[in-house]
Amino acid sequence: MGGTLGTVEVRLRPSFTLGTLLAAGHLAAGAALVPLALPVAVKVLVGLAVVASGVASLWRQACLRASDACVRLVVQPDLRILLQTRAGRTIAGTVLPSSLVTPWLTVVQVAPAEGGRLRTAVLFPDSADAESLRALRVVLRWGAAAAASR
């Protein structure tokens, strides 16, 4: 690839695609409880947990409404990254090799520099503008290849 890779900034927006997939997955999990040979009370409790998980996932990941939802990514060619949350907090870290880059889905897994829990950003084509998503995919693929060859 000719040229050098530059820093990429991606401003995230709510994703209808991610919301639909999260809702469908949680509905399927809830429906899977029906035929199980479990007491009704157990089914209800597990069902409530599935509903709570679905609401929390939609709120944070798809709608980007939670205070800790990632709304902006700034990725360096060496795979250092800054995540900005809806509350304005900036988290510095490193993109992990377990991140996934495909034309339709990008999953960015981040190890925060200060430790703590791993952060994950799930991006579909409707998660940001097409050009910044393309640039992000290029940096993640080629930056990872350059890092691996060192």
User: Which residue type does 41 have?
Assistant: A
Q: Tell whether 75 and 145 lie within a shared domain.
A: yes
What pTM was estimated for this model as a whole? Answer: 0.85
Residue 57 domain-assigned? yes
88-95: average pLDDT: 97
Is residue 141 located within the same domain as residue 77? yes
Poorest-pLDDT segment among 25-34, 101-110, 140-149? 140-149
In degrees, to the nearest 5, what angle opens at C-alpha 10 toward C-alphas 113 and 72?
55
Least confident of 43-57, 76-90, 107-121, 134-148: 134-148
**125 shares its domain with 144:** yes
In this structure, of 40-54, 100-114, 133-147, the range with the lowest mean pLDDT score is 133-147
Boundary residue ending a domain (41, 62, 83): 62
pLDDT tier, 144 (very low <50, low <70, confident <90, very high otherwise): low
In this structure, are 51 and 27 located in the same domain?
Answer: yes
Number of domains in the chain: 2
Q: Are residues 80 and 54 in the same domain?
A: no
Q: What's the pLDDT score for residue 59?
A: 97
Residues 6 or more apart from 83 whose CB is under 8 A from it?
70, 72, 73, 90, 91, 93, 110, 119, 121
Q: What mean pLDDT, rounded, does the chain reach?
A: 93
How many CB atoms within 10 Å of residue 140? Answer: 23
Banded pLDDT at 40 (limits 50, 70, 90) = very high
Q: State the residue range of the domain holding 56.
A: 16-62
Note the pLDDT of residue 1.
43
Question: Quick one: 51 and 25 in the same domain?
Answer: yes
pLDDT in tens, 94-107: 999 999 999 999 99
- Arithmetic mean of pLDDT, 55-59: 97
Identity of the amino acid at 124 = F
